[in-house]
Structure 1
């Protein structure tokens, strides 16, 4: 994935005059605790309310079987958000974590514990990071149908940075465990 809509478009910071490129981002949302749909809509709203983030698309909602979660985990609602931003990847990560906290996400040592809201950065333009706090592109997303299918719904020709076409990745992974929920439609304010 390259910087979009046009890598030559620059946004000037109104206070400092600093020029910042606009980057296309893919953000995955998930919830399997509480009011799952309301949590997803709240995540979309919070992203749309973020300065220097412009939400351009929201995928259909899928109900999905938990992957690599503790036994007895409830099913998830998942969706993908496309946005353009001038924020750095680290600032965007800070915002994602703040949104999770606003929805009372409890963090634990249990891997993939149930959560009210998960906000994952999948790709941020063509940025790469292998730091503990920020891995870009997301290291498992290319193996997760609950990310790939909603992303493909929004961008049929999407390319996953360093991995290839999203359609080909989804064909390898398959769509077992995904149930479309056309009765649930996320809105962009």
Structure 2
């Protein structure tokens, strides 16, 4: 009996088995904590998590939109750059063509000016030649009249006679010069 009494006393003071009032208080406290956490904290935590998810997804969407806009701007830039290069190439080609036209026009003008200068020089040379021939005729005529007068021994003062003698002499000289030119050519 002592033994049964000790077992009973030991069962009453068993530290592993809680007292009934502790069990009731513990269950009530657990229920309050579950309600508080389940009804108040969990919705707030879920709301915060949803806000963060929305913020992250919104940030990703904004980043994708910004990246799409940047890609579009880059493509526009590339298209404009390509167009600008094409335009520059076209302008260079046009400038080359205009340069060639200007050079050709200047060359034609220079050749026309050269022809005009040559023609003017030939005209001037011909005029000077005719002047020199006339002057030479006069001098040769005077010398030939004087020489003929000395050879003949009479004075050739008659102008008509003098003119005929000079013309005949000059024609003979020109005929000889032409025949020598034909022989050499």
- Give the alignment's TM-score, normalised by structure 2: 0.18
| Greater helix fraction, Structure 1 or Structure 2 | 2
Structure having greater relative contact order (Cα 8 Å, sep ≥ 6): 1
Higher normalized strand content (fraction of residues)? 1
Q: TM-score, normalised by structure 1?
A: 0.18
